Copies of this chain bind each other. A is one copy, B any other.
């Protein structure tokens, strides 16, 4: 069974999407067909949104579910008049917060994913650029500036995790691959030795690594299960010997890896 879902927002729609996804992931039955209507910030756009919702309700033969994050009450009530179950996040939570904080909310649109404080936004962009420039063993002379350096064998998840740490939390995250030479010698690469306190490891199960590497270089020695097993065993032995904490990335998303690292280190995030 199909059920249509709309995310309606006066800005990007990212908050509405994330909240809606979080709720819908709790329901296994229907196939949700999702639409985002961003930038609904005037009465005309609100009417267009209502038309789209109502048309879909007619076509589906069942009313859609609408998640919205709308700060303007007039626009919100337009949307509420559509033929849908309308769940509005601001409507429910703003009132108790106004009471608790003894202050009226600003009803200002677009606060949550805007550039906001320019200094902080610039720091975030700098962290992204830093992580790009210190990916996969690049820019090792900048490691003094890194807040964390992820290590692990090729394709263990270092690059996407570094980028997520930078993008979401504004953390300058470098990463450095552990390659055969280091693994065979069971020695930490010389460029990493001064920064042992900043190292965090990623490991992965051999079967999964074999699968990932096979997509890139099928039937290579690099991708073979035997080699994956050998590299991972050696990398884990090295990390244990060096006292480098590590996580198994096999079943963890980059969100889970990043928040776990943040939680288990004394790293401090630069943005919420």
Residues of A within 8 A of B (CB): 3, 11-15, 17-19, 21-30, 34, 36, 38-39, 65, 69, 71, 85, 87, 89-90, 92-94, 96-97, 100-101, 103, 105-108, 110-116, 121-122, 125, 128-129, 132, 135, 157, 159-160, 163-164, 167-168, 212, 215, 251-256, 259-260, 263, 272
- B263→A111 contact, CB < 8 A: no
**Distance between A170 CB and nearest chain B CB, rounded to angstroms:** 12
Smallest Cβ distance from A140 to chain B, in angstroms? 18
From A257, which residue of chain B is reached at the shortest CB distance? B12
List 16 other contacts, CB 8 Å, given A26-B97, A29-B103. A12-B255, A14-B255, A15-B22, A17-B272, A23-B94, A26-B111, A29-B101, A34-B272, A87-B97, A113-B256, A116-B253, A122-B212, A132-B132, A132-B135, A132-B163, A167-B167
The answer to whether A14 touches B90, judged by C-beta atoms less than 8 angstroms apart, is: no
Option from B23, B105, B256 in Cβ contact (under 8 Å) with A12? B256
Residues of B within 8 A of A87 (CB): 93, 96-97
- Once A12-B259, A22-B89 are accepted as A-B contacts, the answer to whether A27 and B160 lie under 8 Å apart by CB is no
- Chain B residue with Cβ nearest A34: B272
**A23 to B129 alpha-carbon distance, docked (Å):** 29
Give A3 Cβ to nearest chain B Cβ, in Å.
7
B100 touches A85 (CB 8 A): yes
Q: Which residues of B contact A110 (CB under 8 A)?
A: 256
Across the two chains, which residue of chain B brings its CB closest to A99? Answer: B85
Report chain B residues within 8 Å CB of A259.
Answer: 12-14, 36, 38
Given contacts A21-B272, A255-B12, contact A27 B103 (CB under 8 A): yes
- Are the C-beta atoms of A163 and B159 separated by less than 8 Å? no
Check B27 against A106 for contact (C-beta < 8 Å): yes
Query: Residue on B with the closest CB to A128?
Result: B160
| Chain B residues with CB under 8 A of A122 | 212, 215
